[in-house]
Structure 1
Amino acid sequence: IIALAIPLSIATAFVLLYFTGHTINIMTLGGLALAVGTLVDNSIVVLENIHRHIAMDKPVREAVADGASEVALPMLVITISILIVYLPIVFFTGTIKFLFVPLGLAVAYAMGASYLASLTVAPVAIAAGDRELGHLPELAKIEAPRSVWGSLTAIWKSFNPFERVADRYEAFLRWGLGHKALIVGTVGGVFLVSMAQAPRLATEFFPKVDAGEFILNVAAPEGTRLEKTEAIVETVEGVIRKVIPAGELDQIVANIGLPQGWMVLYTPVNGPHQAFVLVSLAKGHQVRTDDYISRMRDELRRELPSLKFSFQTGGVVSDVINAGLPAPVDIKVSGPSLADLNQAAVTIRDVVASVPGTLDARVQQGMDYPEIHLNVDRVLAAYMGLTEQQILADVVTGLSSNISGDPGYWIDPKTNNAYFVVAQYPEQNLKRFEDFLLTPLIGVKTTELPIRIAGTGGLGGSTLSLQNTPFAGMPMLPFGGNFSGGRHREPIFLKDVVRVERRTGPETIDHYNLQRTMDVMFGVAGNDLGAVARSVEEKLAGLGLPKDVTVDLKGELGSMRATISSFAVTLPLAVLLVYLVMVGLFRSYLDPLVILASVPLGFIGVVWMLLLTSTSVNLESLIGSLMMIGIVVSNSILVVDFANVLMRQGMPVQAAVVRAGRLRLRPVLMTALATSLGLLPMALGLGEGAEASIPLARAVIGGMMVSAVMTLLFVPILHSVAARRKEPAAPHVV
């Protein structure tokens, strides 16, 4: 009967996800996987309470009605408390919101269906079973054949270990009620010591996932020709095959130089001297991707020391969360002068490289890219009847066609499809730089001068020079001078009107906040991005930078810090929302405070679980902490609400607290174990790509196990103190 809650709740969640426009994806399935253990909690509590009433010799139907109605209100509070902790996720922004809102909705739909199933399907199933047996009373007299499972059950009942545990728990609880100060002081000390260990936890934005693929960025010295870069990449591929065995390697795809067309907007390559190599490992590879990368990094440094290398790992999810940046940390160096920026960026790169834990420190923009400057002789060009704009148009048309400046179209009359009609010089004719200088300039039509020229016509004189000088607003056609007369005219070449100058300059000029910017990027070894970033910031704090140069750390680091800051507000907000809901339902200000006392104690388990398993504080573990708040509150509600019921029936405070603790021991332990066991496969990282959810599951399990103990030991003692000081409780609502 209890297990029925799982398929019913998950099926209902699928239906509601469909009608709310969501799909079945890794986040919605992850949310349902997280909720599997929690889905049976409601049914466990209801059925345990029904069996308790049956043990009081009540008729089955009466026991079902009394047992279900008795826990209806606390189960409603529990469900609302679990759901309401997901409400702050709605206030997230950016990629995080689109990732985790579907997860929260999947959990909310499944939990709501679980609540309804626990109060309808489970009680009705018990009552229906009793009705079937009621028509055949003689069945009760027939002894069922003893099976292996039945024999084990009989042995378990005769041994009765749970009652022994319950007796010892009741004895300890009575002792604790007599030593309240000692218990409260001990719990407070454990909490402070545990929170003091929190700074030792590693911090990162999103857990690293072994996606089975990585990108290797290769950069040769600026000015390296494309065919030379191709030979270098071939050597790099040989290193890759040397490090990764053939059975572990799936494919290698190399992208060299700049692509053609609009794809150039999305490539990380800045010129023919750069390339990136996509390496995919075979499915089920035995060695982790990071281990192969570490070996490959050492091998590349040894064989190709003059090249720059960097690696991108983590797969699509990491790229999306990191906004497509090729490194976890991007130090943006901004200022007005490129020379000062380059000096500062190189200095920062050297400082970053000296910090332990940093990888692939590099300046993203090179400053030695070969450039050819064409200085137009304006006087000579004007005499030839040409403007700088016309010369530029002819050069661009010759090299990359007229598609960007003056595109032409042809429409197929049969299909009405439009095609570009472009003009461009054949690439095979541009083998040397001298061929480029022989580009003819034919940007305008030539006309005959409507006057007679005396002499040879080689020079038209000052009047003709003025006539050939263009001015703004009136583009003029070439005439006079070399264009006069009826004889054959010599063509004008690019070399005739320009002066060539070779220089070096930046690969690209980037801007951030309207300022020129250079990027210093680096990766992090391990999972402690926060500690490495703090060490880098400490080094940079004492660094003297040129005037007007500023430094700003962006990338995954900025997202991580913004997320942690958001959770510093989100977690207290979730606790406050749960408190307000319980105040309205319990009609008491003090009982919700007693219940919420288990929440900070749950963080004891979160801290120690993450610390002992070397798991970092990241987005997933913070989401797990948020989930833990709602689950932890549910156990305390069971104990406090039932103690209030007993006190309203006239039982003394201490006796009521002990009685409530003993009777709620079984459901509290069962729900804690069900939730923890449901999350155990996820916490162990079983399955492909499960690394992303490991921190979430471990945070919930750690907080759940510790809070279950605290709920049974500390919350009853705190409740007994509060019950003696508060006013008489309001009548219980059923």
Structure 2
Amino acid sequence: MDMFKQLVVKEYGDRKVRLEDISDLEIGPESRRGFLRANKKNAIGLGIVRQTKSNVLKVTNLVKEELENIEKSLPENIEMSIGYDQSIFIDESISEVRFALFISMAMVIAVIYFFLFSPVATIIPALTIPVSIISTFSIIYFFGFSLNVLTFLALVLAIGLIVDDSIVVLENIKRRIEDGEDSYQASVNGAKQITFVVIATTVVLVSVFLPLSFMGGKTGRLFIEFGVVLSFAVIFSSLIALTLTPMLCSKVMGLDSQQRREPQLMTKFKKFYQDSLKFSQNNVKQVYVFSAIVILIAFILYQFIPKELAPTEDRGIFIISVQGPEGSTLEYTDKIVQEVENKLEPYVDQNEIKTLFSIVAPGFSGQPGSVNSAFLFASLKPWDIRDRHQKQIVGEIFPQLLSIPGARIFAINPPSLGQSPFRSPVQLVISGDSYDDVAKWGNILKNEVTTLNLRAPNIDYKVNNPRLNLKIDREKAAELGISAEQLTTTIETFFASNRVTTFSNRGLTYNVVLQARKDYRINPNSFDNIFLKSSKYEKLIPLSNFVSYQETSVSKELKRINRMPSTILSASLIPGYPLGDALHDITNLSKDVLPVNAKLSFTGASREYFESGHKLELTILFAILVVYLVLAAQFESFINPLAIILTVPIAITAGLYTLFVTGASLNVYSQIGFLMLIGLITKNGILVVEFANKLRDKGLAIEEAIYQSSMIRLRPVLMTTISTMFGAIPLVLSSGAGAESRYSMAAVVLGGITLSALITLYLIPALYRFIETKRNN
């Protein structure tokens, strides 16, 4: 540092002008355009971003180990803490799903025991669960997947599915033993008799689940692992059902010589179903009318179900965005941020907010950010300590933020599907032929959307960014011997900063930056006090002699989307206002207030909502088509599978009823629940229809065949249905990290399969009877 101070700038005879005589020299931050506070204390922040495809939990654990080593070397008065840790939510979510996995296993085994009323018989399908799951682990390893929230979620939902095939095989073998066959012969004949059903249901389920792995877009890529894991879990369970289950039955079923009575509840239900089935078979029109009314009501209820990309999860953190007017100073923005911090301080005292750290002029890319912007990260206390959901806390804070004048302030619940947490969920692109047009249209729509449940609407094309336009008289400068390089270097040094060289000290390299004092830089009149030396006349010439300036304003940036001048209207949602409803309302409003030549599109989370929704809808339709074709191939008839495939609308209808009753939204997770419903309801239909066909081959009439098939297959249908229901219950009742997404999917499965199974117990026999009678005629 002393060497820089002693540098000679000019000599006047014996007198020397040194650098320290005409400047202030210090070692300091290269930029003072931003700063960070943690719990209202000045701090230094370090952001660590993992590399693509690296494991979040592994990286986080290694970072924490390194931080412990660093903390030991810090002075005692320096505190070090983690303000934002993404791995906490991930670790808690995995723990919750892992716990649900074991609860589901226990509940499903209890269901099997209730129906089979035999400890020995219960052990056989119970063994299917660990064997299938362990086998699925090999697929996870083979494809390079990780044990994450989605793979664990797939395993939990698969619990009810992977025992289904074993239940069907076991129940058929047990029925034959009860009819007098010995255990070995019953195992061989029972497995042969049910092989077609197992293969058919497995192919159908894989046809439904595997297309999830081929969905495009960001959301689709998230569910690749989910679809693959679920599909292979079902495949392994079918292989076990056709090999291990018959073998175990032949060995251990004969050991269970004790005669056990069927549970009284099951006996009563069988009697009720027998009487009601006879009534429905004699009054099939009533079954059709009832089913049609149920579907019609579902269409009406669909209009009232909230729609969004994904449910708002309690991720243990929320973010507050602060955007001041263009041209605001760092001090002005910091004053607004301090007001926000004061609003949040009571929540720290209430033991709800753990850490609050504020970044003014954030530069996440390593470069200084805009001084009129700031972000506040509020990390909440752990889920088991807090009494309130994150959404409730944000909902209470939101109005308080809106009451702070002088800036655009809104709170953000981080999205659950990997979208940027710093962008508003509503992002409408308005494009036109010129920026004047899009600015006019954007302002019109911005004023109109205040009637909707949107907060802090804003357009990014605003001519309010102050700018100083410099005009250089190049001819005059050339006459006076002032070069263009002199001009640009001087203006850059006095009104911005200029990096001239570097120096090394203690192994670190520092940039040497020249910069005028702040009060000098912000004053345009400083042009009169800047002199340049002429190379022709050896005189100092004021800069103002050949540089004039004009104060004006421009837009901060000019966007072109799809090669057209564009602006983006962004807004946040008030709590309880779904994204789908907001986009629908704003689209209709745009058509009413904007001219026909205004081009509208979406970006960000809004675009992902439409793309993911449409792709999932296509996936569901494709799954229905594939299921029909698979059944047609297996039954060798295009007519026979209609009795099964026509029950799919009932399954979807039952799922919609569930969403309406529970108040849950239609989102990516619930749509995957609908996809599972298609496979589950089809599986039950195959059990009944396939056995009815075999009875008809033995000479029974259509009415008697479908009646006997429905009664004989009642127990396996109920067992597989209730096993799936009980497998989903732990996810429905779960709480904590990520519970909202798990609930959306599991609730559709639980409520949908319950209602649709009850209806299809009567609808399938009615449809089979109608279709087969028509075909024979």
The TM-score with structure 1 as length reference comes to 0.82
Tell me what 1:263 maps to.
366
Q: Does residue 250 in structure 1 map to residue 354 in structure 2?
A: yes
Confirm whether residue 605 of structure 1 aligns to residue 654 of structure 2: yes
Q: Is the 8 A contact 2:494 2:521 kept in 1?
A: no
Residue of structure 1 equivalent to 2:431: 334
Partner SS for 2:303: helix
Matches of residues 305-344 of structure 1 in structure 2 within 5 Å? 305-315=405-415, 317-318=416-417, 320-321=418-419, 326-335=423-432, 337-344=434-441
Aligned residues: 650
The letter of the residue matching 1:378 is R
Q: 2:730 and 2:573 mapped to 1: Cα distance?
A: 28
Name 1:643's counterpart in structure 2: 692
Contact 1:27 1:100 in 2 (8 A): yes
**Deviations along 1:197-246, whole A, 9 cap, x unmatched?**
22221111111112121111112333222123222211210111135544
Which residue of 447, 453, 462 maps to 1:350?
A: 447
Question: Is 2:325 the partner of 1:275?
Answer: no
Matching residue within 472, 481, 495 for 1:376 = 472
Aligned to 2:591: 541
Work out the CA distance in 2 between the residues paired with 1:159 and 1:335.
71
Aligned counterparts of 2:522 and 2:264: Cα–Cα separation in 1:
94
Report deviation, 1:428.
Answer: 5.1
**1:548/1:598 Cα in 2 relative to 1: closer, same or farther (>3 Å)?**
closer
Q: Does 2:535 align with 1:483?
A: yes
TM-superposition CA deviations, 1:103-144 (whole Å, max 9, x none): 00010111111111222222222222257x5xxxxx96xx9x
Report the Cα offset of residue 70 of structure 1.
Answer: 1.1
The 8 Å contact of residues 413 and 421 in structure 2, kept in 1 or not, is answered as no
Tell me how far 1:554 sits from its aligned partner: 3.5
5+ residue gaps, structure 1, are 134-138, 144-152, 447-481, 729-734
**Paired position in structure 2 for 1:295:** 396
What is the SS of the residue equivalent to 2:366? helix
Secondary structure in 2 aligned to 1:368? Answer: strand
| One-letter identity of the residue aligned with 2:696 | M
**Equivalent residues of 1:203, 1:527 under 8 A apart:** no
SS of residue paired to 1:374: strand
1:204 aligned counterpart, secondary structure = coil
Unaligned ranges ≥5, structure 2:
1-123
Q: Give a deviation string over 1:409-462, Cα, whole Å, max 9, x none.
A: 9999x99xxx988653146577544596489798xxx9xxxxxxxxxxxxxxxx
- State percent identity of aligned pairs: 25
Q: Distance in 1 between the 2:652 and 2:597 partners?
A: 45
Judged with a 3 Å threshold, the aligned counterparts in structure 2 of structure 1 residues 334 and 722 are, in CA distance, closer, same or farther, namely closer
Give the SS at the match of 1:71: helix
Structure 2 Cα separation of the partners of residues 536 and 680 of structure 1: 37
| Alpha-carbon distance change, 421 to 495 in structure 1, aligned in 2, over 3 angstroms | farther
**Secondary structure, in 3 states, of the residue corresponding to 1:287?**
coil
Aligned-partner Cα distance in 2 for 1:37–1:492? 87
Q: Assess, with a 3 A threshold, how the Cα gap between structure 1 residues 123 and 590 changes in structure 2: closer, same or farther.
A: same
In the alignment, which residue of structure 2 is the partner of 1:65?
188
Does residue 44 of the first structure (1) align with residue 167 of the second (2)?
A: yes
Where 2:593 maps in the other structure, the secondary structure is coil
Offset at residue 390 of structure 1 (A): 5.5
Q: Distance in 2 between matches of 1:294 and 1:561?
A: 26
CA distance in 1, matches of 2:569, 2:314: 25
User: 1:422 & 1:241 partners in 2: Cα distance?
Assistant: 39
1:209 and 2:313 equivalent? yes
Cα gap change, 1:502/1:706 in structure 2, threshold over 3 Å: closer, same or farther?
same
Q: Distance in 1 between matches of 2:628 and 2:713?
A: 22
Q: Which residue of 1 aligns with 2:387?
A: 286
Give the counterpart letter for 1:263 in structure 2. Answer: G
Partner-residue secondary structure (3-state), 1:591: coil
Amino acid of the structure 2 residue aligned with 1:354 = T
CA shift in 2, pair 1:427/1:637, >3 Å: farther
- How far apart are the structure 2 equivalents of 1:195 and 1:382? 78
Structure 2 Cα separation of the partners of residues 441 and 39 of structure 1: 84
- Aligned-pair distance for 1:312? 1.6
Q: Which moved more, 1:650-659 or 1:98-107?
A: 650-659
CA change 1:376–1:258 in 2 (3 A) is farther
CA distance in 1, matches of 2:565, 2:526: 32
- Aligned partner of 1:363 among 452, 459, 464: 459
The residue that corresponds to 2:211 in the other structure is 88
Quote how far apart the aligned CAs of 1:78 are: 0.3
* Deviation (angstroms), 1:400: 6.2
Note the 1:92-107 alignment, pairs <5 A.
92-107=215-230
CA–CA separation in structure 1 for the residues paired with 2:776 and 2:167: 32
Q: Give me the whole-angstrom Cα distance separating, in 2, the residues matched to 1:353 and 1:542.
A: 15
Q: CA-to-partner distance for each residue in 1:599-623, whole Å, 9 max, x for gaps?
A: 1111221111111111111111111
* Alpha-carbon displacement from aligned partner over 1:395-418 (angstroms, at most 9, x marks no partner): 446666667xxx989999x99xxx
Q: Which has the larger radius of gyration?
A: 1
Cα 1:62–1:29 shift into 2, 3 Å? same
Among 496, 506, 513, the residue aligned to 1:424: 513
Which of the residues 306, 313, 328 maps onto 1:224?
328
**Kindly tell me: are residues 578 and 555 of structure 1, through their superposed partners in 2, closer, same or farther at Cα, counting changes over 3 Å?**
same
For 1:391, the equivalent position in structure 2 comes to 487
* Structure-2 change in CA distance of 1:335 and 1:172 (3 Å): closer
Question: What amino acid does structure 2 have at the position aligned with 1:503?
Answer: T
State the alpha-carbon separation in 2 of the partners of residues 685 and 499 from structure 1: 68
Tell me how far apart the structure 1 counterparts of residues 621 and 330 of structure 2 sit (CA, whole Å).
57
SS at match of 1:203: coil
Distance 1:633 1:620 in 2: 21
Cα distance per residue 1:549-585 (max 9 Å; x no partner): 5443433333222333333432221111111112222
Give the deviation of 1:391 after TM superposition.
Answer: 2.8
Q: Deviations over 1:521-545 (max 9, x none)?
A: 1122315333333332333323256
Deviations 1:625-644 (A, max 9, x none): 11111111100000011111
- One-letter amino acid of the counterpart of residue 176, structure 2: H
Given that 2:655 and 2:748 are in contact with CA atoms closer than 8 Å, whether structure 1 keeps it comes out as yes
Aligned to 1:460: none
Paired with 2:631 and 2:740, the residues of 1 have a C-alpha distance of 36
The change in CA–CA distance for 1:423 and 1:391 in structure 2 (over 3 A counts) is farther
Counterparts of 1:124 and 1:606 in 2: how far apart (Å)? 38
1:554 aligns with 2:603: yes
| Alpha-carbon distance between aligned partners in 2 of 1:26 and 1:594, rounded to the nearest angstrom | 37
**1:562 is paired with a residue of what secondary structure?**
helix
Aligned match for 1:684, one of 709, 727, 733: 733
SS at match of 1:650: coil
Following superposition, the deviation at residue 497 of structure 1 comes to 3.4
Match in the other structure for 1:56: 179
Contact 1:222/1:273 (<8 A) preserved: yes
Q: Output the CA distance in 2 between the equivalents of 1:203 and 1:91.
A: 23
Distance 1:161-1:232 versus aligned 2 partners, 3 A rule: closer
Distance (Å, rounded) in 2 between the aligned partners of 1:411 and 1:123: 78
User: 704, 714, 717: which is aligned to 1:665?
Assistant: 714
How far 1:672 moved relative to its partner?
A: 0.8
Aligned Cα root-mean-square deviation (Å): 3.1
Where does 1:135-146 land on structure 2 (aligned, <5 Å)? none
